[in-house]
Amino acid sequence: RDAGPAASAAAPARAASSAAVLPFEDRSASADQQFLGDGIGEEVTATLARVEGLRVAARSAAFALRGHADDVREVGRRLGVTAVVEGSVQRDGERLRVTASLVNVADGFQLWSARFDRAAGDVFALQEEIARAVAQALRVRLVEGARRAAPDARAYELYLQGRYAWYRRTEEGLRTAARYFEQAAALAPGYPQAHAGLADAYAVLGFYDYLPPADAFPRAEAAARRAIALDSSLAAPHATLGYAALYHRWDVAAGEAAFRRAVALDPDNSTAHQWYGNLLTAAGRFDEAERELRHAVALDPLSLIARSALGWSLVHAGAYAAALAECRRALELDPRYAVALLWGGWALEGLDSLPAAVAWQRRAVAASDSGALYVAELARALARAGGRAEAAGLPARLPARADSGRYLPAYEIAKALDALGERAAAFRWLERAYRERSHSLVFLRVDPQLAGPRRDPRFAALAARGA
């Protein structure tokens, strides 16, 4: 039986104008239900975000403070909010016990709390109930008519497991996420979020060269179109269509239209703004790209990828010191974040700090578990820094990856070979990247690391045929 709401320890003087939802702590005996605690936190965040006049901290910003619920004032200060939602989830077979509370940041007192004892299949409705109770305690009102239909309970659990794996952003995590989303979509074909999740998984698998482009991006596009057919109001699949248009079809105009549509549907979607900034970078519109990416960071200041992508774009604009500063800020949040190390290394190269650049690329290789893209970038940095003997051995190791069925990042290998002075081999790999429709070719005209090949007559011919 549900416990009634606890008496408020201190009534707020006014309605709270901002809130953050922390991931609900897993207190199950099996300790394997954190995906469920994260899912409850994420869905309550999404529901509260529908409230007009209530600013809700981004999911990644709040979740970055996982484990700090014992210091609500510090959480509130770091997120810039006036109230924090925290809770726990405990699963015993098909029963759930969920606790939730709303805490006033100013004095640490609870404004509302409750305990729920429900069947596991009721978790979707329970999340909505918690969000409505929180909104009532905050003296705000949820927008009516925006409630999503509850999917099949098992499909929803698979979706939550997929999102939990997707947020890890590792190759294993992304592949696992795709499997969970596929299972969710098979169980509930009419569930748009399952298809949107599948689109996200394949899009990012393609971007990080974990899957061949011809395999990853068409699957991402098909899943995004299915999600939109089921619910055209979802911003995320429109953004994924823009992603596929840019990186696979090399259609900047179609990509820009899709990103603008996503932003119009959800102006606070940091990922849509970030991906739009990527497109603007590829188009050489660096001032616009910086504005879009800084807006993505402002919406989600603790997002590792948004902060790192801002640094990456600034590298392309030649603002190396500013780029390095942004990558350092990302690494303050996670010292092992591989792409921040990668792109920070690029910024150090631009500043002619070549030994430091090599050191950062070594750290990136370690953090990525020797991902092929990172190995190729280390080889290029070593070649530039004078470590030719070690650099020459690295690209030679990569074909073994292909023998195991893994994709080789042809564009990055081409850049490594060019740094080693093997210009003809570099162009053979660029031609391979063109045949494989490598997503990186959209940056062919703006990539500062291709300054040498860009002066070669063969480059103009390739660029004329490419993105």
DSSP run (H or E) holding 361: helix 354-367
Nearest to 381 by CA among 432, 426, 344, 429: 344
Q: What's residue 150's pLDDT?
A: 56
What residues have CB less than 8 Å from 70, skipping those under 6 apart?
Answer: none
b/e string for 337-353 if b means 16 or more Cβ within 10 A?
Answer: bbbbbbbbbbbbbbeeb
pLDDT for the residue 406: 72
What are the sequence ranges of the domains in the chain? 18-150
Instruction: Provide the Cα torsion 42, 46, 48, 54; round to 10°.
Output: 110
Q: 435 Cβ partners below 8 Å, 6+ apart? A: none
Quick one: tokens of 159? 């979706």
Q: How far apart are CA 396 and CA 118, in angstroms?
A: 57
- Contact in structure between 376 and 391 (CB atoms under 8 Å): no
Burial 251-274 (b: 16+ CB within 10 A, else e): bbeebbebbebbbebbeebbbbbb
405 conformational bin, left if phi > 0, alpha if psi -120 to 50, beta if neither: left
Query: Is 217 in a helix, a strand, or coil?
Result: helix
Amino acid (one-letter) located at 59: R
> In terms of Cα–Cα distance, which of 55, 74, 48 is closest to 16?
55
pLDDT one digit per residue (tens) for the chain, 467 residues: 444 433 333 333 334 588 999 989 988 888 888 888 888 888 888 888 777 778 888 887 788 787 765 677 888 888 889 899 998 999 888 888 899 998 988 888 888 898 988 887 788 788 878 888 887 887 766 555 444 555 788 898 899 999 889 887 788 899 999 999 999 999 999 999 999 999 999 999 998 888 999 999 999 999 999 999 999 999 999 999 999 999 999 999 999 999 999 999 999 899 999 999 999 999 999 999 999 999 999 988 888 999 999 999 999 999 999 999 999 999 998 999 999 999 999 999 999 999 999 999 999 999 988 888 999 999 999 999 999 889 988 866 665 554 456 788 999 999 999 999 999 999 999 999 999 999 999 999 999 999 999 999 999 988 888 66
Cα(391)–Cα(346) distance, rounded to whole angstroms? 16
Question: Per residue in 13-40, pLDDT tens?
Answer: 334 588 999 989 988 888 888 888 888 8
Residue 308 identity: S
Q: What 3-state DSSP class applies to 184? A: helix
Return the pLDDT at 31.
Answer: 80
- Helical spans, DSSP H, in 138-269: 153-166, 171-187, 192-207, 213-230, 235-247, 252-265
Is the Cα dihedral 412, 414, 415, 417 positive or negative? positive
The amino acid at residue 253 is A
Spatial contact of 314 and 338, defined as CB atoms under 8 Å apart: no
Name the DSSP letter for residue 23. P
Instruction: Give the list of residues 6+ apart from residue 125 with CB closer than 8 angstroms, or none.
Output: 150
* The predicted structure's pLDDT at residue 8: 36
What single-letter amino acid sits at 409?
Answer: P
Given the candidates 3.40.50.300, 3.30.420.10, 3.40.50.10070, 2.60.40.1180, the CATH classification of the domain at 18-150 is 3.40.50.10070
pLDDT, one tens digit per residue, over 44-86 is: 888 887 777 788 888 877 887 877 656 778 888 888 898 999 9
| CA distance linking residue 386 with residue 360, whole number of Å | 16
Q: Which residue bears the tokens 């631009």? A: 350
